[in-house]
Chains A and B, each alone.
Chain A
Amino acid sequence: MNLLKNTIDLDISTPVYKFSCKLRRRLTIVHGDSGVGKSSLSALLLARPDDLKVECTLNLLLATPDQWSMTLNNAQDSVIIFDDMDCVETLEFAKLCHDTLVRNNNYLLLICRDEMPYLEDIDGEDGKRKALSISLDEIYNFKTDGINHWLEHDM
């Protein structure tokens, strides 16, 4: 499955919180220390304050614990953020990613530290094993200087 597509620029900002990144592949994985503002990103997208500015060529969605599978199935032309969600460990999540990401032209930003063993080893219904390739280049640390937030590679 070809996961390569156009690079998507994502910029989210309020007067006191700024985040920007480039999504080069369908799956981008983000982790990092506690207290650097990862969950603040989700809180902003959930609350959508009036002064929130989002610049992205695709729709920006936040997956929720009870609707994530519906979002993956139905959302199109979107960047979908998963923040510390249990579902990323599951076979169902891996299968939905395999079946829908390219079809729906979606990109995922996974903020998690969980292992995701199924993403690279999925039992297909046809008996063949499928996989999504996760590039090491698209695993990042979330960094901040207090106001600005960005992604850096692990060194």
Chain B
Amino acid sequence: MLYVSVGDYTEDCIRRTSAFFDFNKKPEWFEDEFVRHTIRTIDRSEVIMGECIVSPVLGAIAPERLSSGCKGVILLRMLPERSIYATRCGDNCFPLIQELSKMQDVKILLHNCPKMPVDIEATFVESGKEVHNRREFVEEYYRLRHQYTGV
């Protein structure tokens, strides 16, 4: 299940996903098939061996050169107990986040309303409301977010 928060940052929320990933990644993360799928889908790159990744644009790269969004999704997969500030993720990350949420619980914090997959299913933490599509997601996001920003 996908759990979405829209309020203030919490202690368990990883805000600076790129820096956190760079200093906390583990070699075995890149043996995980979903992680490889994420790197292939978002950054169009392939894990060759260990932490060696090949990008069609950059050539052989270390994981530090992955995009922030890619790193965020990998953190969601490998650290399910943590929440990720998913505003750092582009719209192209959310189909993968949706896919991951069908495999395990996923917790994200959003301070923007991304273009979610049309059939997104999520639970908003602040209200407990379950949404079952993009329209419901957008409506609930802005209803809750207004309480925090006044706009």
Contact = CB atoms under 8 A, between A and B. Distances in A.
B89 A34 contact: yes
Contact of B70 (A16, A34, A112, A115): A34
* Interface range on chain B (Cβ under 8 Å from partner): 20 to 34
B28 to A, nearest CB: 23
Contacts of B44: 35
Interface in B114-149: 114, 145, 149
A34 B69 contact: yes
Contacts of A112: 87
B90 A31 contact: yes
A36 B55 CA distance: 12
Interface residues of A, number: 21
Given A34-B67, A115-B145, A86 B15 contact: yes
Given A35-B43, A146-B57, A117 B112 contact: no
Given A34-B89, A35-B70, A89 B57 contact: no
A34 B149 contact: no
A117 B151 CA distance: 7
A112 to B, nearest CB: 8
Contacts of A147: 57
Nearest to B85: A86
Contacts of A32: 90
Given A84-B68, A117-B151, A147-B57, A39 B112 contact: no
Interface string A82-99: 001010010000000000
Contact of A35 (B69, B87, B111, B149): B69
Given A35-B69, A113-B87, 6 more contacts: A34-B93, A39-B67, A113-B88, A121-B151, A146-B56, A146-B57
Interface of B: 15-16, 18, 42-44, 56-58, 67-70, 72, 87-93, 111-112, 114, 145, 149-151
15 contacts: A16-B57, A34-B93, A35-B44, A36-B67, A39-B18, A39-B68, A84-B18, A86-B16, A89-B111, A114-B87, A115-B111, A115-B112, A115-B151, A121-B150, A121-B151
